[in-house]
Amino acid sequence: MKIAYLIPGCGVSGGIAVICQHANRLLKRGHKVLLVTESVERFIDWFPDQKVPIVGLNQYPKDIDILVATGWSTSFRVAVLPAQKKFYFVQSDETRFHPRNSSWEHITRLSYTIGYNYLTEARWIKAWLADSFGHNAELVPNGLDENIFFPAEPLQPKGTKPRILLEGAIGLPYKGMAEAFTAVRDLDVEVWCVSSYGKPEKRWKCDRFFEHVPMTEMRRIYSSCDILLKLSRVEGFFGPPMEMMACGGTVIVGEVTGYDEYIENEVNALVVNPMLPQQAAKAICRLIDDRDLKARLTENGRLTAQNWQWESSIDILEAYYIDVLDGKRGTKMTTGKAASAISLAYFYGQLRGEDILSVLTKLESVKPTSVSTDGVLNVSQSHIDYAVETRTSTVFDFMDVLRRSLLSIPNRFKHAVILVSPYIGKAIRNPLLGVRMIKMAISILRISGFNGLKLAVISRGVQRQLLDDMRHQKNTTDTDDPQR
């Protein structure tokens, strides 16, 4: 079989790691497998022994047997790409990733109405897809890669204080990192933190911080710590607790969707309310004070991790793809269903300020070298003719506000624009968020009638000064086109 997985980007994430497990293990079984990325990056060097070729959309082959959407945003592009059979690998209810009642929440929910062949990693997602959308998704459980996660030499010998590991993207509030730091604030413990997006606030108690950690290095971090505390409020099938178990540590988790796929409270872990840091603090104290409890949970966790193997799951996955391709199983994509999927793709493109249906093959015209931090601009209020200030909580919400704001700018000011946003700074450091966001912004600018573009990456101090200047001018100037 010739199989392609469409991924949103190549940055460090648990979801991309699972896709890499699928793709690389299918490749080893003799199938032709590709990762097709929407971003300009072409490497996933943080995943060990990654052998699957990575190509851009403009290199997408026309003879694909199996095409797999791997998240809500990729599901719409899959609708317009050619393949014999199309699948949707659902790893969570991703409507929860967006602000409530936003355009992105609604378009994400609509992605689950597309008539693909569905597969998922967790029992709760399988039940949710059946109850909410009528899909009979194939269950392909995640596994643990025993060649990556096992007890290893610690990065630093353990000291006299218990060492607590907090893991999760700090920049995503639903990962519960603020609550986790609150839980350890008053405890006499050492705190380590791993985050793929965002850094600890200065006021938080953090003795050692790691970001964008390759998977092969995580086992040494796990092996250096006594307890993993993970208080995320949105998950599909989370891997870090099982990885910590395999490396000989003890686990405390929040009661979140998917935790009970392999976690049993008081058997192999402790489960708390993720919104109540005081519960997590008490759980940590229990493990510190009750050595027998900690030893029992640790041993049961180790046995749990041994029971989750990848190869048996890949057996299920391979058989599912073959059966659907042979017509023995699967959803029939009628002409009407295919047309409806393309219509959804069209409206998704409109939200992004991009014509997905007509410019698909041109999306890779922006090369990696076009994004640079060279020549950071010294921006001041005197450079600005017209300003739009926005406050948003996510990159996608920022795009929506940007699109609507640009349409309000008078035509005589549409000669150039400077984007001033903390997301731009993160863009340079985090390719998964950054290059994709910049490309989206450029597309919106062009559609909005701008014939020039200046992109500024500025420090937080300069940004604050710029915004203060903008607000001052807003309060003191009365013109036909007031600043906004």
* pLDDT tens-place string over residues 366-393: 343 333 333 333 333 334 444 444 444 4
The mean per-residue pLDDT over the stretch 332-359 comes to 86
The mean per-residue pLDDT over the stretch 126-134 comes to 96
Any idea which of 125-134, 299-308, 391-400 has the lowest mean pLDDT? 391-400
pLDDT greater at residue 313 or residue 392: 313
Which pLDDT score, from 0 to 100, does residue 397 have?
Answer: 52
How confident is residue 212, by pLDDT bands cut at 50, 70 and 90?
confident
- Choose among 149, 167, 157: nearest CA to 247: 149
CB of 78 closer than 8 Å to CB of 8: no
Q: Is the pLDDT of residue 407 over 70?
A: no
Which pLDDT score, from 0 to 100, does residue 450 have?
Answer: 53
Which residues touch 401 (CB under 8 Å, ≥6 apart)? Answer: 390, 392
Which run of H or E residues covers position 220? helix 215-224
The mean per-residue pLDDT over the stretch 300-323 comes to 95
How confident is residue 440, by pLDDT bands cut at 50, 70 and 90?
low
Three-state SS string over 317-350 comes to HHHHHHHHHCCCCCCCCCHHHHHHHHHHHHHHHH
Which pLDDT score, from 0 to 100, does residue 107 have?
Answer: 95
The mean per-residue pLDDT over the stretch 31-55 comes to 92
Which pLDDT score, from 0 to 100, does residue 439 have?
Answer: 57
What is the rounded distance in angstroms from the CA atom of residue 444 to the CA atom of residue 449?
9
In 20-84, DSSP assigns E strands to 32-37, 54-56, 66-69
Q: Is the pLDDT of residue 447 over 60?
A: no
Which pLDDT score, from 0 to 100, does residue 372 have?
Answer: 32
Burial 251-263 (b: 16+ CB within 10 A, else e): bbbbbbbbbebbb
What is the rounded distance in angstroms from the CA atom of residue 296 to the CA atom of residue 311?
28
CB of 231 closer than 8 Å to CB of 280: yes
Which pLDDT score, from 0 to 100, does residue 187 have?
Answer: 97
Q: Is the pLDDT of residue 302 over 70?
A: yes
Q: Is the pLDDT of residue 64 over 90?
A: yes
Q: Model confidence over 84-112: pLDDT tens digits?
A: 999 999 999 999 888 888 999 999 999 99
Burial class (CB in 10 A: 0-12, 13-18, 19+), 186: exposed
How confident is residue 409, by pLDDT bands cut at 50, 70 and 90?
low
Q: Model confidence over 219-251: pLDDT tens digits?
A: 999 999 999 999 998 887 888 999 999 999 999
pLDDT greater at residue 400 or residue 320: 320
Which pLDDT score, from 0 to 100, does residue 432 have?
Answer: 46
What is the rounded distance in angstroms from the CA atom of residue 85 to the CA atom of residue 90?
16
Which pLDDT score, from 0 to 100, does residue 159 have?
Answer: 87
Assigned CATH for 163-306 = 3.40.50.2000
CATH of 2-141+311-363, one of 3.40.50.11090, 3.40.1670.10, 2.40.30.10, 3.20.20.140: 3.40.50.11090
Which pLDDT score, from 0 to 100, does residue 216 have?
Answer: 87
pLDDT greater at residue 133 or residue 196: 133
Q: Is the pLDDT of residue 480 over 80?
A: no
The mean per-residue pLDDT over the stretch 178-182 comes to 96
Q: Is the pLDDT of residue 167 over 80?
A: yes
The mean per-residue pLDDT over the stretch 68-92 comes to 95
CB of 67 closer than 8 Å to CB of 87: yes
Residue-range domain boundaries for the chain: 2-141+311-363, 163-306, 366-476
CA angle centred on 365, ends 360 and 368, rounded to 5° = 125
Which pLDDT score, from 0 to 100, does residue 230 have?
Answer: 96
CB of 418 closer than 8 Å to CB of 456: yes
Average pLDDT, the chain: 81
Any idea which of 6-10, 87-91, 115-119, 476-480 has the lowest mean pLDDT? 476-480
Q: Is the pLDDT of residue 408 over 90?
A: no
Q: Model confidence over 137-157: pLDDT tens digits?
A: 999 999 999 999 999 999 999
The mean per-residue pLDDT over the stretch 70-83 comes to 94
What is the rounded distance in angstroms from the CA atom of residue 272 to the CA atom of residue 294?
16
Q: Is the pLDDT of residue 398 over 70?
A: no
| Portion of the chain with pLDDT greater than 90, in percent | 58
Any idea which of 280-289, 342-351, 446-455 has the lowest mean pLDDT? 446-455
What is the rounded distance in angstroms from the CA atom of residue 481 to the CA atom of residue 388?
12
Which pLDDT score, from 0 to 100, does residue 305 have?
Answer: 94
